[in-house]
Chain A
Amino acid sequence: MKDRIRKATRHVNQNEGLIFEKSSSGKAAWKLPPLDVPEVDASRLLGSSERKDLGSMPEVSEIEIIRHFTRLSTWNYAIDLGMYPLGSCTMKYNPRVNEAVARVEGIANGHPYQPEKISQGALNILKKLSECLIEITGMDAITMQPAAGAHGEMTGLLMVRAYHQSQGNARKKILIPDSAHGTNPATAAMVNYAVENLKSDARGMVDIGALEAQMSEDVAALMLTNPNTLGVFEQDIHKIADILHAKGGLLYMDGANMNALVGKVRPGDFGVDVMHLNLHKTFSTPHGGGGPGSGPVAIKKILEPFLPTPVVVTKSDGTLGFDYNRPHSVGRVRAFYGNFGMFVRALAYIQANGPDGLRQTTEDAVLNANYIRKGLEGAYDLPYSTATMHEVVFSDKLQAKKGVRTMDIAKRLIDYGFHPYTTAFPLIVPGALMIEPTESESKEEMDLFIDAMKSIAEEVEEDPQTVLDAPHSTRVSRLDETAAARKPVLRWKPPV
């Protein structure tokens, strides 16, 4: 079996316990300068509010901390190690210059309340990135405040609600296709809209007939991901927008898949009224093991009065400042101005690409997905034959006959040196394998991936147990998630 695996080999990695297990009294990794003001008596200043003891906080030295976290890091897979084809999550290369410029002193250490006069650098970055994103999406205005995509969805729907309210009727529900991300219905609920499911047709697109039947003056908006989670561009997008607009509804676009469109087509041109972007997807800011994200919301003119406060404006003297006086605003969705450090990285990414680079990036992302689709057709079932954009969704139908499901194939892929694809999503494909290579993969890496997937398909026929027991090469084997949830152990406790 071993000679099938071309990308990865086993290698030694270090064992490492919890940091608390290394702690002992008197070790330290810190040193404070001598105090240049009089010492204070904490119990006199704080009285009963004084804290006496910090419990089981660790005491360790610097070298132990370095080794601890370095050892832990080697147990992670990462985009820096290889292809990370996690569909819909868009794991692309995170350029290092982004990290360097985010750490330049005035940018890293600017206080959010420092006077505008000495914040022109940050304001300039905010404005410049806003302008780029407005141009890329073809929209009219933007808020950078939301901290992640789901937070952007909430902000977008708050503006949708405020708009309808200003028209005299807030309306009752949001239409959401059955292929949507889970955040969409969860967000609608937070903004107190009812969710109505919209069926997909045989092509994997919005069923136009169903949309016409379900559209009414109770519908505030349709939340549409385009390309959708099957990686399919909604070809009837103009009809969709018309149907909504005819009854006064708005078209919300979940921009999670904007990396399939940048430089090729603009949502603002095909009828979208409001959309969020994920800077940690399309614009290369790092995922960091689950965040920070950033979810700017771009809108058409009609929604502009409702933008969260503050917004960046050019003042009469030509300097930049914040405008807080916006009586129709939906309010604030986060303290300060958003995940500014992510704006710095996204802008550096746009500058490194330019218009030609952004377009080439999109083309390569779509080319890569189609190359994988072609390479795996036949070995895996393709439930929708509609043209693929940036990601392709197969199913485990062929492998399920041998009792092997999408999660098993995903776990076996780990032994081949790859991170798994997204499993069991979108929900409209039973046993989905959702593969998104992004533009960051070379032909060589993708050939290795295709070989690995084909090899696993053969293993399923010859020796399904090997696949069912995978992964075989990791530090730990499959973990007991049921036990973890039944009797949660959510923190370390000192031994008694």
Chain B
Amino acid sequence: MRYLPKSPADREAMLKAIGLGSVDELFAPIPAEYRLSRDLKVPRQMAESEIVDYFRQRSRENGEGYTSFLGAGAYAHYRPVIIDSLISRGEFLTAYTPYQAEISQGTLQSIFEFQTMICELTGMEVANASMYDGSTAAAEAVMMAVRLTGRRSVVVARSLHPEYREVLATYATHQGMPLSVAGFGDDGRLNLKELGKSITLETACVLIQSPNFFGTIEDVAAVAAVAHKHGAMLVVSIAEAVSLGIVEPPREADVIAMEAQSFGVPLGFGGPYCGVIATREKYVRQMPGRLVGQTVDKQGRRGFVLTLATREQHIRREKATSNICTNQALVALMVNIFMTVYGKVGLKELAKQNLAKAAYAATQFAKQGKVLFAGAPRFNEFVVQTSEDPHAINSRLLRHKIVGGLPLNKFYPELGNAALWCCTELTTRNSTDTALRLVADHDGSAPSAKEEAGVEEVAR
């Protein structure tokens, strides 16, 4: 086995040194009746070339070469080459959590820079080293608000990513945290009247997303005013990090729960991504996850350490702020490098291109069908309502290697034939025009039996 650095003679010598006759004696503590006396039924040992072939084959079956208009919490942005060059360095890739600060200063300093940039971009005072992803970060942020307010109920915007809502519901089930949902208005924003009806003096926090699931930018100040008037906290989820280049961050929020995938993390069929929680300094001791702080060594030189560990499970056990241990450090490093590459000016220009591409597409779509929620600003996503079932449209597009917008009937049946389209800086005008032409071409040919089957396949 090519990963094992021992010759048969080494093994013999080691067994002899231990005073054993055979390797089986090492496993004597396992009761004999349970010991496995056969090979595991897993694939036989493969050569590296065979492994590469297997995955290349899977890649060809996985949307290779398709143009996509999908967003909905996972965004296709260009990843600068140096991200992979740098994260592939073994010193980053194959290090553990930086518990031993003297030989982990590389990881620690990079996390400190990450925390700083997340603070700059979100307008918050402190940010942690990462959470699993945006959905679990949102759930953990809500639990943080519950601890901070001593209240238990939560009002959630219906325009929060539906899968984030599902995750929150799972986390909340056994914590005695009643959830209520506030709907959206004609402009796609949180319906403040509904919020007013749902919020009470028992409400720990209001959880919204901005830009929300429809790509609409919420009136965060107005939501914050309602929440704060009732003594509740405002938690804002950000799923499309690139928006922060051109959209004012939710500075009125008390906690921000972010998904930073847009910053240089591959789509990777949904993970690994990079959640982050950012908040005000006064709330830091109720924040979950790891934190890096600056300090000095014995000679007074600047250095960095993991800090405020008394919040964490390995110290506090069942009284910890969360059970989180391993987070997403390497992915946070990708995010860090991405933020460094684009920086103060590039992030703004990048976000502007996203804005322009989506604005162009939405304008063109408005000529064909109805683009919903025109009354409020949006970033790089928009909802298109059509007379035709979007699954049928997508089926037609798929034959041209185009993946259309996400049909919304599963999550928002009230919107009818609607789909969520996304454009980023990678979306060319040509592909938008082609997609639009195919969307419009619903009477191009009568659907055959084969096409009907296709509709079913695309249905999710």
Contacts and interface: CB of A to CB of B under 8 A. Distances in A.
B72 A288 contact: no
A419 B3 contact: no
Nearest to B140: A190
Interface in A452-496: 471, 474-481, 483-485, 488-492
Nearest to B54: A351
Given A50-B247, A340-B268, A476-B105, A491 B112 contact: yes
Interface in B37-93: 39-46, 48, 50-52, 54-64, 66, 68, 70, 72-74, 76, 80, 82, 84-93
B314 to A, nearest CB: 4
Contact of A70 (B28, B86, B244, B272): B86
Contacts of B127: 490-491
Interface stretch (B148-156, B191-199, B291-299, B436-444): B291-299
B62 A443 contact: no
A287 B76 contact: no
Contacts of A105: 59, 64
A72 B105 contact: yes
A364 B169 CA distance: 44
B446 interface: no
B174 A287 contact: no
B25 to A, nearest CB: 9
Interface in A36-75: 36-40, 42, 45-51, 54-60, 62, 65-66, 68-70, 72-75
B346 A149 contact: no
Interface residues of B, number: 201
B328 A292 contact: yes
B5 A483 contact: no
A238 B330 CA distance: 40
B376 to A, nearest CB: 9
B293 A182 contact: no
Interface stretch (A245-253, A365-373, A396-404): A365-373
Interface string A405-439: 00000110010000110000100000000000001
A337 B133 CA distance: 12
A59 B271 contact: no
Interface in A1-52: 18-20, 23, 28-30, 32-33, 35-40, 42, 45-51
A335 B135 contact: yes
Contacts of B359: 37, 40, 45
B296 A480 contact: yes
A102 to B, nearest CB: 8
Given A40-B355, A42-B355, A158-B170, A29 B247 contact: no
Nearest to A161: B174
A100 B52 contact: yes
A65 B82 contact: yes
Contacts of A355: 39-42, 44-45
B96 A414 contact: no
Contacts of A440: 3-5
Contacts of A243: none
Given A119-B63, A334-B133, A485 B293 contact: yes
Which of A153, A186, A491, A492 has the most B CB atoms < 10 Å from its CB? A491
A253 B58 CA distance: 33
B35 A350 contact: no
Nearest to A390: B26
Contacts of A213: none
A414 B102 contact: yes
Interface in A91-107: 91, 93-95, 97, 99-107
B133 A147 contact: yes
Given A116-B460, A264-B30, A336 B176 contact: no
A184 to B, nearest CB: 8
A187 to B, nearest CB: 4
Contacts of B340: 19, 29, 58, 60, 65, 68
B346 A182 contact: no
Contact of B110 (A72, A338, A351): A72
Contacts of B413: none
B297 A480 contact: yes
A255 interface: no
A79 B90 contact: yes
B286 interface: no
A150 B326 contact: yes
Given A112-B267, A485-B307, A490-B292, A70 B89 contact: yes
B313 A147 contact: no
Given A36-B428, A151-B132, A490-B284, A80 B317 contact: no
Contacts of A360: 1, 4
B176 to A, nearest CB: 7
A298 interface: no
Contact of A341 (B11, B66, B266, B394): B266
Nearest to A107: B59
Contact of B298 (A66, A354, A478): A478
A415 to B, nearest CB: 10
Contacts of A37: 356-357, 359-360, 429, 432
B21 interface: no
Contacts, number: 696
A311 to B, nearest CB: 14
A289 B271 contact: no
A367 B95 contact: no
A351 B46 CA distance: 6
B449 interface: no
Contacts of B41: 135, 355
A186 B318 CA distance: 4
B368 interface: no
Contacts of B347: 54, 57
Contacts of B356: 35, 37-40
A475 B17 CA distance: 38
A319 B111 CA distance: 43
Nearest to A71: B106
A69 B89 CA distance: 10
B120 interface: yes
Given A288-B329, A335-B133, A263 B40 contact: yes
A202 interface: no
Interface in B281-330: 284, 290-299, 301, 303-305, 307-310, 312-320, 322-330
A77 B132 contact: no
Contact of A113 (B62, B70, B303, B317): B70
B150 to A, nearest CB: 17
Contacts of B121: 54-55, 57
A442 B102 CA distance: 26
B76 to A, nearest CB: 7
Given A76-B95, A117-B398, A367-B26, A419 B103 contact: yes
A269 interface: yes
A398 to B, nearest CB: 22
B407 to A, nearest CB: 9
B452 to A, nearest CB: 14
| Central interface residue in A46, A111, A440, by most chain B CB within 10 Å | A111
Most buried by A among B39, B87, B268: B268
Contact of A477 (B73, B98, B297, B344): B297
Contacts of A476: 101-102, 105, 297, 301, 303
Contacts of A294: 272
A93 B343 contact: no
B168 to A, nearest CB: 9
B94 interface: yes
A81 B93 contact: no
Contacts of A485: 293, 307-310
5 contacts: A78-B93, A121-B57, A122-B62, A150-B326, A364-B6
Among all A-B residue pairs, the 9 with the closest Cβ atoms:
A288-B330, A336-B270, A354-B45, A80-B90, A121-B62, A106-B59, A112-B270, A290-B329, A121-B58
Given A106-B59, A340-B272, 13 more contacts: A29-B341, A32-B353, A55-B344, A56-B116, A57-B121, A73-B89, A111-B269, A117-B458, A148-B324, A266-B34, A354-B45, A371-B17, A389-B26
